[in-house]
Chain A
Amino acid sequence: MKYVLRVNGKRHRVDVPPMKRLLDVLREDCGLTGTKEGCGEGECGACTVLVDGVSVNSCLMPVCQVRDSDIMTIEGLSTGKKLHPLQEAFTRLGGAQCGICTPGMLLTAYELLARKKKPNSSEVREALEGNLCRCTGYTKIFESVLAAAARRGKKRD
């Protein structure tokens, strides 16, 4: 089947079976390998992308479900050379160690900050519970998300 996908604001024409996992279409057909496979069964969240602003496990979503949607992957989080405040905070505060959960973690955090300007730490915890990290013990991730939210808040004041 032929689909035109809107990923990070760009159109991608692909010709794939309708049940092909969105994860594989992004990685193999769109060449966007920033989205990672961790478990293939929706448990780890490494493959998280945003579909119309909502975080989904792209390993559980067939491509036929997203043909009219806007998809955002890690490659779309920052424009040009400037890092998004979340990316900057993860780099500075130790939110990323091995980095394999990081793309999914960042997109889930982005979704949280889109709906909640100043989350408290328990809201951050709960928002990230679908994204497993085996390296950090999560604390540095919480700190990174809170720092990014605080910085963004400051800018707008």
Chain B
Amino acid sequence: MVEEPTSRATAAYRTLAPGVLGYLRAQRAPEPEDVLGEVFLQVARDIHRFRGDDGDLRRWVFSIAHNRVVDAQRRRGRGRSTPHPAPGEAEDARLPVAAAPADPIDPALVEALARLTDDQREILVLRFVADLPIEAVAKVTGRKPGAVKALQHRALDNLRKAISPGA
């Protein structure tokens, strides 16, 4: 029996919304909850045309979120691969509301992610926060799987240094 598009969109929201919200927060999207709503509205609008399994659905939803983030970054005039300023350089003012210390999420991790380049942070977030395999990350970002692996390796090293500078 074919599942109704509304229930498919609702089920996708219940499954994927936490990951998408984490992705948006880690990517420092402005007002991530609102962007999350926009992402799933687009999912609900277009899901009747979607064909694929759960893995494809996950990649498709994160592709939409990725495009939203890229659009937001372009609107803010931020260039890609620009290193973020070190902590303390008026960086806290740009942190999303959800990254406030009172939140249950990891503020130190958010801060360390903010110090990576856009490319490195994007790979790490898609790979581990969104829980996508290497091939899916490669497709979402338009890179080759080998490039994604290399970027992930460097990103993890830099994240380690950012979290524990003395290590």
Answer yes or no: are A and B bound together in one complex. no
Q: Which residues in B have some Cβ–Cβ distance to A below 8 Å? A: none
Interface residues of A (CB under 8 A from B): none
